[in-house]
Amino acid sequence: MAYSMTGIGSASGMIKKPNVKFEVAIKSYNHRFLEISIKCPNSLAAHEEEIRFEVQKRVSRGHIIVVITQDRELLPANIEIDRLMLEAYLNIMKELKRNRKITGELNINTLLSIPGIVKFSQTSSKETGIYTQFKPILERALSSFLKMKSKEGKNTVREINKSIKIIEKSVQQVEVLIPSRNENYKTKLIELVSQHKDGLDQNRFHQELFYLTDRSDITEECKRLISHIILFKEALAQADHPGRRIIFLLQEMQREANTLSVKANMFEISRLVVKIKEEIEKIREQSQNIE
């Protein structure tokens, strides 16, 4: 199945311990290789590589952006007072009052605002099992993402197959024209040489004639082009991620089309080759979005 390299998907859900709602949004863009960017809350930061692995199992190319949000911050598991620091501040206050005659009182708000007085410690997500509860939400988002990529991929393949049919038909028309084209080529060569036949070695002339005709024959190019088309269709229909393979086959098809263009020597064939090259270019553009 051919997937589009572009797509979006999302999912949301609640976990119970702690009671938090997560939302996952995934989108992708064209990219030659696989690049995954993940933005997640602190509660899942320790599991970023596991999230990346889940994406890698399902996607082979493209720039993938995964954004995970939660509806509220998780309260720290432990809140402690740094008693040594608190005692030190209180002693300083008493000394200032006694020795410097500084007046005023410390209140609770002032104490709590002192950096480091209150310590927060967060129980790791591995201990709370947050990722285990979150993973089904991620999987639903990936399923939604792949569903859209599949839908877009089918649309692209449909357009590519239209172009492939045009190319196949054009090559078949070229093959029909080859015998008359070769005969016309021979006739023109004979007419050209007959104008300068004085002193011409007839045996050598016919040898050269057959050599030139054989070198200018385009039968093999047509056969190779059809062979590449067959491989292209097989890759498009059967491979899970055919992007790189079909791009390579398109290069081979383009090479044969260029050779046909050079060796055409017939207006009707040249016209058909132009059509073939136009359709190859259409497919090349569309294939850039195939994973």
Helices (H), 101-218: 108-112, 125-128, 130-194, 202-216
Split at pLDDT 50, 70, 90, the class of 78 is: low
Check residues 263 and 125 and name the one with the higher pLDDT: 263
Res 98: pLDDT? 81
75 band by pLDDT with thresholds 50, 70 and 90: low
> Which span out of 124-128, 134-138, 204-208, 232-236 was modeled with the highest average pLDDT?
134-138
Same domain, 227 and 109: no
247 falls within a domain: yes
Q: What is the CATH number of the domain that holds 14?
A: 3.30.230
CA distance 140 to 22: 12
Note whether 19 and 139 are same-domain residues: yes
Looking at per-residue pLDDT, the higher value among 213 and 30 belongs to 30
pLDDT digit string (tens) for 236-284? 887 678 888 999 999 999 999 999 998 888 899 999 999 999 999 999 9
Q: Which of 206, 171, 172 is nearest to 189 (CA)?
A: 206
Q: State whether 106 and 209 are in the same domain.
A: no
Predicted confidence (pLDDT) per residue in 178-216, tens digit: 888 878 777 776 776 676 666 566 666 666 666 566 567
Does residue 1 form part of some domain? no
Q: Is residue 28 part of a domain?
A: yes
pLDDT at 196: 63
Residue 186: domain span: 152-287
Residue type, 108: I
User: Does 136 score more than 50 pLDDT?
Assistant: yes
Mark whether 143 and 160 lie in a shared domain: no
Asked if the structure places residue 188 within a domain, the reply is yes
Give the least confident one: 34-43, 120-129, 136-145. 120-129
Q: Mark whether 51 and 137 lie in a shared domain.
A: yes
State pTM to two decimals: 0.67
Q: How many CA atoms lie within 13 A of 141 on its CB side?
A: 26
For the chain, the average pLDDT equals 86
pLDDT band at 233; cut points 50, 70, 90: very high
Please, which pLDDT band fits residue 127 given cuts at 50, 70 and 90?
A: very low
Of all residues in the chain, the percent with pLDDT exceeding 90 is 51
Question: Does one domain contain both 158 and 264?
Answer: yes
Is residue 110 domain-resident? yes
Collect all residues with Cβ–Cβ distance below 8 Å to 244 and sequence separation of at least 6: 61
CATH number at residue 263: 1.20.140
**Does residue 141 sit in the same domain as residue 19?**
yes
Domains in the chain: how many in total? 3
Q: Does residue 13 have a pLDDT over 50?
A: yes
Identify whether residues 225 and 251 lie together within a single domain: yes
Residue 61 lies in a domain: yes
- On the 0-12 / 13-18 / 19+ scale of CB atoms within 10 A, 14 is exposed
What helix, strand, coil percent values describe the chain, rounded to 5? 65, 15, 20
66 shares its domain with 96: no
Residue 2 covered by a domain: no
Instruction: Please tell me which residue, 90 or 140, carries the higher pLDDT value.
Output: 140
User: What pLDDT is attached to residue 113?
Assistant: 83
